[in-house]
Amino acid sequence: MHIIAVGGSDAGISAALRALEVDPGAEVTVVVADAYPNFSICGIPYYVSGEVPHWGNLAHRGIADLEAAGMALRLDATARRIDVADRRLLVTGADGGEDVLAWDQLVIGTGAVPARPPIAGLETLGPADGVHVLHSMDDSFAVMRTLEETSPESAVIVGAGYIGLELAEALCARGLAVTQVEQLPEMLPTVDPQLGALVRTELEAHGVTVLSGTAVREINRAEAGSAARLRVDAVTAAGEAVGLDAGLVMVVTGVRPETSLAASAGAALGERGAIWVNQAMRTGLPGVYAAGDCAITHHRLLGETWLPLGTTAHKQGRVAGENAAGGHREFAGSLGTQVVKVFDHAAARTGLRDHEAAAAGSDPVTVACEADDHKAYYPGSHKIAMRFTGDRATGRLLGVQLFGHKHAEIAKRIDIAAAAIYSGLSVDEVSDLDLSYTPPLGSPWDAIQAGAQAWTRRAGRT
């Protein structure tokens, strides 16, 4: 049994490791497009900030560890073509040489690539000019070269999603004056604007200039004699022109699935152009699986969608690897549970927001409330802003959003909500959960339970 995983990030490595657990006698090869298998791409902003002192620390496992687990690594190798009928994979190396690998089962984990917005100048300017995307280890090295060789004093970040927010903090930590530009009306568009406004406040409190409702139209080299290297031209929703000078520009406006390898082999595509798979992670091609950011996501409340997340990629890869090795497992589905640290605070969400629930056919009610993270009489308590979404008719919990201090256990509290939604609990049933309590760390009714009770009162279900 020869299993090949294409892609050395979360999905590919998870698939390879699980396949070896299920069938220790299998031959498992991982084709990696660069020299950095099993690196935490999510950790790159913390390498940029200096909090992670060496890029090598971002490796979940070193090459020696992966090889010791039983897999063969083909580094700096690009999968070019899949021959489904003969079960062959054409691979080219860094030197351009070609090799044909035979496979019995194939897992495609080609991930996603940065989405390039329609900004004039973006196709001609690059890292040498101080204009960067951030999606790979090589991208991070290019950013570090710009920081170390040109010592920019200012940066413009285009995009205010998770990576954009983490980069704002990272560049502030390095002493740069940061301007964050977001085309949508508020920061962190994956949460409701009311929480996005709290994110904005936190950014501004740490010196970030925030421009929401503003679209970048063009990036140019600065005029001769300018103190900055770059000129960024933007326009507000009201049509007002905005000009920004910068020594560094980061464009982080999302990603799109990388599906060219699978599509050229005849794999069907689904939501957002991602590879269609069933819940066993099988494509419609015999012996071919797909997992991670290149594949569609089975969502527990929405059905088929596309939601690229590292946690999802790990789970999908594990399922694909188990099944490729002869197992029988299905991906249980995602809820889109996410959390991001923004300076001294954190924002998180799981499940559906109001408009998403309505589009999925529910009759949602969303209630805003707040509660202390632990008993207020014990020093150091913090308020958590919460938004609970439940179905008006059934009372089922559909979604939760949180914003609070980084010491308020935001991540773990959103996990409680995720577990409740996963289990199909009603909002009212959240109060029945047997959660821990001690005054320095919580309350007899945890903040999540206090939020659930606020929903039941205001939604008229008491």
Residues acting as catalytic residues:
42
| Residues 6 or more apart in contact with residue 36 via CB below 8 angstroms | 8, 59, 136, 137
Contact 19/289 with Cβ under 8 angstroms? no
Token reading at 61: 């496992």
Q: In a 3-state reduction of DSSP, which class is residue 32?
A: coil
Structure letter (DSSP) for residue 283: -
Q: What Cα–Cα distance (Å) separates residue 418 from each residue in 121, 130, 303, 352, 411?
A: 42, 40, 16, 11, 10
Single-letter amino acid, residue 157: I
DSSP 8-class letter at 180: E
SS3 for 234? strand
Q: How far apart are CA 234 and CA 212, in angstroms?
A: 11
Contact 106, 4 (CB under 8 A): yes
- Report angle CA 414, 417, 422 to the nearest 5 degrees: 125
- 281's tokens: 């992670």
Decide: helix, strand or coil at residue 219.
strand
Distance CA 281, CA 385 (A): 37
| 109/217 Cα distance (integer angstroms) | 33
Output the six-digit token pair for 410: 């935001």
